[in-house]
Amino acid sequence: MNADDVRLGYTRRMLLCPVRACRLPLIRDGRRVACERKHSFDIARSGYINLLQPQDRRSKNPGDSAEAVAARRRLQDLGATRPLLEAIAALLDVGKGDVVLDAGCGDGFYLGSLVEPCGCEGHGIDISVPAIQAAARRYPRCEWIVANADRFVPYADRAFSAVMSITARQNVGEFRRVLRANGRLLVAVPAPDDLIELRGTGRDRTARTIADFGSDFELAAQTRATATVSLDDAAVRDVLLAIYRPLRPRVSAASRVTFSLDLLLFRPRGGAAKGSPF
């Protein structure tokens, strides 16, 4: 088994064929992965795998555009979202033995930044090809997959000790399926004061999110992470471009902008069976 096999996570045979009614394990074969039924998918030069099926997209180029990905990357490089990352890292508390999934990972900032210092195993999924391309180039230690996690998370049952969903859509049933019984799930939703200078006070999403996950998960911890930073006009334009649905600002410019997330840590209901690590 070579280093690429270990880096891409194939030692665990975790990745599943996305073809409907197949779902067999995908095995590395040179520069592609394939299942026993001969469904095969190429591995891009930068290392990511595109498993997105035609029926799983609503447009020709779903998800974040290349321009939005670049804008978000510039904001991250300024350090604007570093306090949010630190809060997520403290609450999720991953270590070397963890296997982490980021569903709706975007350009990989949160997952890649967690994996690098602690050495855990990281896997990211997003529907945007430009986002996954950016993630694969900057964070080569992780496995990056283009797929629609709203419909199917292409990994085996109980593959992960931790799952993250950072301001992304949530697939409660799939998160529960791929998460180990003793694992943890971190969900981040925009807080009411997120980007308040640009769009005014938003709605509180926490109660609805807790209710949506309530049948399969119980809330273990809750906190709010906030950073208010000074940005020039160009950076403010990047904020407006970077979010999923670009905003028209309620003011022409802002010198200070608030980034704020409500962080919810869940545990699967029922927990692990006695004597079982999963």
> Is pLDDT at 12 greater than 70 in this prediction?
no
CA 268 to chain centre: 19
* 12: its two tokens: 């665990």
pLDDT tens column, 46-65: 999 999 987 776 667 778 89
Taking alpha carbons only, the member of 130, 124, 99, 92 closest to residue 109 is 124
pLDDT tens column, 227-248: 999 999 899 989 988 875 555 5
Q: What is the CATH topology of the domain spanning 48-268?
A: Rossmann fold (3.40.50)
Question: What pLDDT, on the 0 to 100 scale, is given for residue 199?
Answer: 84
Burial of 258 (0-12, 13-18, 19+ CB in 10 A): middle
Q: What angle do CA 141, 5, 64 make, to 5 degrees?
A: 45
Average pLDDT over residues 65-72: 94
Answer with the residue of higher pLDDT: 10 or 214: 214
Tokens 């996690």 -> residue: 149
Under the banding of pLDDT at 50, 70 and 90, the label for residue 7 is very low
Taking alpha carbons only, the member of 25, 126, 122, 123 closest to residue 72 is 126
The domain limits of the chain are: 48-268
Q: What is the dihedral of CA 164, 168, 172, 174, to 10 degrees?
A: -70
Question: What pLDDT, on the 0 to 100 scale, is given for residue 1?
Answer: 32
> Is pLDDT at 66 greater than 60 in this prediction?
yes
pLDDT tens column, 86-133: 999 999 999 999 999 999 999 999 999 999 888 899 999 999 999 999
* 39: its two tokens: 């469904």
Burial of 225 (0-12, 13-18, 19+ CB in 10 A): buried
pLDDT tens column, 196-218: 998 888 899 999 999 999 999 99
Under the banding of pLDDT at 50, 70 and 90, the label for residue 4 is very low
Average pLDDT over residues 28-43: 93
Question: What pLDDT, on the 0 to 100 scale, is given for residue 135?
Answer: 98
Question: What pLDDT, on the 0 to 100 scale, is given for residue 8?
Answer: 45
Question: What pLDDT, on the 0 to 100 scale, is given for residue 200?
Answer: 87
**Type of residue at 203:** R
Question: What pLDDT, on the 0 to 100 scale, is given for residue 254?
Answer: 63
Contacts of 82 (CB under 8 A, 6+ apart): 227
pLDDT tens column, 153-201: 999 999 999 999 999 989 999 999 999 999 999 999 999 999 999 888 8
| Residues 155 and 196: beta-carbon distance below 8 Å | no
Q: How many residues does the chain have?
A: 278
Please give the mean pLDDT across all residues of the chain: 89
| Residues 141 and 116: beta-carbon distance below 8 Å | yes
Determine the Cα–Cα distance for residues 263 and 26; give it in Å rounded to an integer: 33
**Type of residue at 130:** P
Neighbours of 274 (CB within 10 A): 5
> Is pLDDT at 249 greater than 60 in this prediction?
no
Contacts of 21 (CB under 8 A, 6+ apart): none
Answer with the residue of higher pLDDT: 277 or 76: 76
* Beta strands 49-50; 143-146: pairing state: parallel
Under the banding of pLDDT at 50, 70 and 90, the label for residue 15 is very high
* 208: its two tokens: 């609805």
User: Is the pTM of the predicted complex or chain greater than 0.85?
Assistant: yes
